[in-house]
Amino acid sequence: MWPTTIASIVTALTLGSGLCYSQINVLTYHNDNSRTGQSLSETVLTPATVKAGRFGKLFEVKLDGKVDAQPLHVGGLNLAGGIHNIVLAATEHDSVYAFDADNGKIYWHTTLLKSGETTSDNRGCGQVSPEIGVTATPVIDRSAGPQGTVYVVAMSKDSSGNYYQRLHALDLVTGAEQFGGPVEIEATYPGSGANSSDGRVVFDPKQYKDRAALLLLNGVVYTSWGSHCDIPPYTGWIIGYDRLSLHQTSVFNFAPNGEGAALWNSGGGPAADAHGNIFVAVANGTFDTKLNAQGFPNAGDYGNAFLKLAVQGGQMVPLDYWTMDNSTSESAGDADLGSGGIMLLPDVQNSSGTVFHLAVGAGKDGNLWVVNRDNMGKFDSTSNHTIYQQLNEALPGSIWSNPAYFDNFVYYGSVRNVLQAFEVKNARLLLPASSTTSHSFPYPGVSPSVSANGTQNAIVWAVENSNPAVLHAYDATNLAKEYYNSSDAASDQFGAGNKFIAPTIASGEVFVGTPDSVAVFGLLPATVLPNGEYTIANQLTNLALEDPGSSNTSGVQIQGAIPNGATNQKWIFTSDGHGFYTIRNAASGLLLTDPGGSKTFGTKLEQQTANGSDPQLWSLTISGSGYVLRNKASALVADNTNYRFTPGTGMQLWSATGRSNQTWLVY
C-alpha cells in the first residue's frame, strides 16, 4: 500500500465556475509527509520517451538568487484569466516566484524583505553563501485562502544589524500576504542550556538557519531550526504555527539543558504519519545518557537521535526515540545522524504476515539505520540491539542527502559514491544493494526523486552537484541502466549545481533549482514528426485523446482520458508530404476530423471514415514541449475547452489562443 501523501497524487478540487478539476501537485518537500520523493501519476515520462534527442531542457526561468529550496508544483490553478500549471520557486534573495510550468511566464514575484532590510549575510559560514534568504523548502496548502497558500520562512537583517526570521503566508494567485502575516519567529523553552536566561532557552534569530523543509500537519505549519556551521550558542528547535491565524501553537527544544541538537537534514523536512506523529533526525549535540524510569534522557536532551513527537494538550512531547550505543562519542566527533533526513516506509509485512511501520535514516557514520516507529528502541550503552535493523557501512561515503522510496526499494546516494537501491523484503532491507549506478556523485552525494505511473515505467532522477551540474535519469529497477544524462547535449546544460537540490517531477516535466534559475526539462518537440503511432495528451490536463469504448462508429466525439497505453489511445500520424498529417485511431481505423470543415467555435472533435478531404488533415505547430493541432479546412485547433481535467470530457475545436489547453504532447 502506498503511503498517504499530501502531494504527487491526482486529487479533485472545485475551482471556480462550478467546474471539477483534478491536478498533479507537489506541495511539499519530496512529495509527501513520508518524504518518499515519489510521483506516481506520471504518464508522459517513460523509458521510451526519456532519451537523448527526445527529452531535454526546454527552458530556464531566471530568478534573482540561489534556489536552494525544492521547486513546488501546483496543477490546474485558476489565475491570469485561465487555468495553468504553476511552479513556485523561492530564492536566497528573499523572493518567491510563481511561473507557468509549461512556458516559463512569470505571473507574480514577491519580495519578503521589509523596507530598509536586506538578506542576511552568510553569518561567517559557507554552508549558505553569499546571502541567506529563503533556504527551507516551503509548503503549500490548497485549502487555505481563496485558492491556496504557500508558507515560507525568510531570514533578513536591517541597517542596525538586527536579524529576523519570519513566517510568510502568500496567496497562490497573487503572492500577497495573508492572515495578517508575516509573523516573527520568536520562542522560549524551559531550560538552562545554550543561550538561556532566567531558566528559559531563548530563540535568537541571528543564530539560526531554517534549512529543513517546512511540514504541514493537521492545520499546523512546523518550522525546524539548525545552526550556522555549528557556531555557538545554539540548540535545536521545532516550532508550530496555525495555518490560518499564524499564531504559535507549540514549541519543542531538543537540548534545552545542553547545546547543539539542531535540525537541518540536508534540506529534508520532519516526516509525519497518518496518526499525527512527527519523526525527526537530530544532529550532534548533548544527549543525556542518564535515563529516567521510562528510559528517556533525564534532562530532556536528545542530541544525535531519531525522535518521535506528538502534540498532546497543546504541547509537543516526545513519545519515543532511538540513538546508538556510542552516541556521545559520535556526536563529539561530528558524526551525527542529522546530516541526512528521515523517511517513513509504507506498511511492510514479514514472512509471518506481521505488519511493521518502519523508517530509515542515515548520517555521517556510514551506517543505514532502520527503526520500528512503534517501538524505536531508546538507548542502551552496551550495544545497538534495540534498533530494528542496522546495516553496517552500507553507505561508505557518509550521508549529506535524503533517500527516496519506490515499490519496495530504498534509494540512497552517499558522498563520492554510487547511488544505491536497497530492496525491502519481509520487512527488512537487504544487503548488498540490488543495483547501483556506475557513476559516483561528488559532495554532498545525491537526493533522488522517482517518477512512475503507479508501479510502471519508474525512473529515478538525480541531480549531480558539479559544474556544470548534471541531471541523470535511471531505470528504477536497475540503476546500472541510465536513460538520460544532461551532459550529453550542450543545449541541456544549466550551470553549476546547488548542494542539496532535489528534482521535482510533475505532468511530464522535471524542475531543477540552480544558483540563479529553475531549469525545466521535458519532451522535445520534433521539427518534423516522423510517421508512426503516438499518444496525444493535453499539456495542461495530461488527458489523452481517446476513441471512447473503442467505438468503430463514424461521428463519435473524441474524449480525454487518463493515459493507459490502450490501443484506443494510440494515433497513427501519416504525412501527406505537404506539411499536413492524417491522424488515424489505431483501434477504430477512423480519422481525426473537423466535421464538415466547420469554422464554428465549440465544434466537436470527431473521428470519421477516411474520405481524403481537408477536414481530415492537420498541421503541427511547435508550442513549448508540444504541438498545436490545426485543421486544414477550418484553421481551428484541437482544444480542451474550459480547461476540463475530468476523464470523459469531450474534446472540441476552437480558435487558437496560445494557452496550454490547446497544446498537445505527442509521444
Q: How far apart are CA 451 and CA 370, in angstroms?
A: 24
Residue 641 pLDDT level (bands cut at 50, 70, 90): confident
pLDDT digits (tens, 9 = 90+) for 407-429: 999 999 999 999 999 999 999 99
Q: H or E element: which one contains 597? A: none
- The helices-and-strands tally (H runs, E runs) of the chain is 1, 58
Residue range 14-40: average pLDDT? 74
Which are the contacts of 300, defined by CB distance < 8 A and separation ≥ 6? 191, 256, 257, 288, 318
Predicted confidence at residue 2, as pLDDT, reads 37
503 phi/psi in degrees, rounded to 5: -70, 150
Kindly list the distances between the CA atom of residue 174 and the CA atoms of 80, 169, 552, 570, in Å, as whole numbers in the listed order. 9, 11, 47, 40
The amino acid sitting at 309 is L
The strand pair at 248-253 and 237-242 is best described as antiparallel
Identify the pLDDT of residue 20.
32
pLDDT (0 to 100) of residue 8: 39
DSSP calls for 341-374: --EEPPPEE-TT--EE-EEEEE-TTS-EEEEETT
Three-class SS of residue 569?
helix
Percent of the chain predicted with pLDDT > 70: 97
Question: Would 633 be classed as within a structural domain?
Answer: yes
Q: Are 476 and 423 contacting, i.e. CB atoms less than 8 angstroms apart?
A: no
Confidence of residue 658 (pLDDT cuts 50, 70, 90): confident
- The rounded mean pLDDT for the chain is 94
- Decide the pairing of beta strands 271-272 and 248-253: unpaired
166: which residues sit within 8 A by CB, 6+ positions away? 112, 153, 154, 156, 181, 182, 183, 184, 185
Please give the pLDDT value at position 3. Answer: 39
C-alpha cell at 293: 524510569
**Is residue 386 over pLDDT 70?**
yes
- Polymer length in residues for the chain: 667
Contacts of 292 (CB under 8 A, 6+ apart): 298
Per-residue confidence (pLDDT) for residue 461, from 0 to 100: 98
The Cα 340–Cα 330 span in angstroms is 15
* Residue 106 covered by a domain: no
pLDDT tens-digit map of 240-293:
999 999 999 999 999 999 999 999 999 999 999 999 999 999 999 999 999 999
Whole-model pTM over 0.85: yes
Domain that residue 608 falls in:
532-666
Q: What is the 3-state secondary structure (H, E, C) of 291-333?
A: ECCCCCECCCCECCCEEEEEEECCEEEEEEEECCCCHHHHHHC
Query: Greater confidence, 21 or 602?
Result: 602
- Mean pLDDT of the 368-394 span: 97
Q: Is residue 631 part of a domain?
A: yes
d(CA 31, CA 506): 10
- Output the pLDDT for position 17: 26
pLDDT of residue 81: 86
Phi-psi region of 265 (alpha: psi -120 to 50; beta: other; left: phi over 0): left
Is residue 547 situated within a structural domain? Answer: yes
CATH of the domain at 656: 2.80.10.50
Tell me if residue 533 falls in helix, strand or coil.
strand
Report whether pLDDT(19) > 60. no
How far, in Å, CA of 339 to CA of 353, rounded?
A: 34
Answer whether residue 193 is part of any domain.
no
Q: What is the pLDDT of residue 520?
A: 97
The percent helix, strand, coil of the chain (3-state, each to 5) is 5, 45, 50
- Using one digit for the tens of pLDDT, what is the confidence trace for 157-196? 999 999 999 999 999 999 999 999 999 999 999 999 999 9
In a domain, 45, yes or no: no
558 inside domain: yes
Residue 574: inside a domain, yes or no? yes
- Rounded Cα–Cα distance for residues 480 and 420 (Å): 10
Neighbour-count burial for 547-569, b at 16+ CB within 10 Å, e otherwise: bbeebeebebbbbbbbbeeeebb
Structural domains in the chain (count): 1
Residue entry with cell 470543415? 597
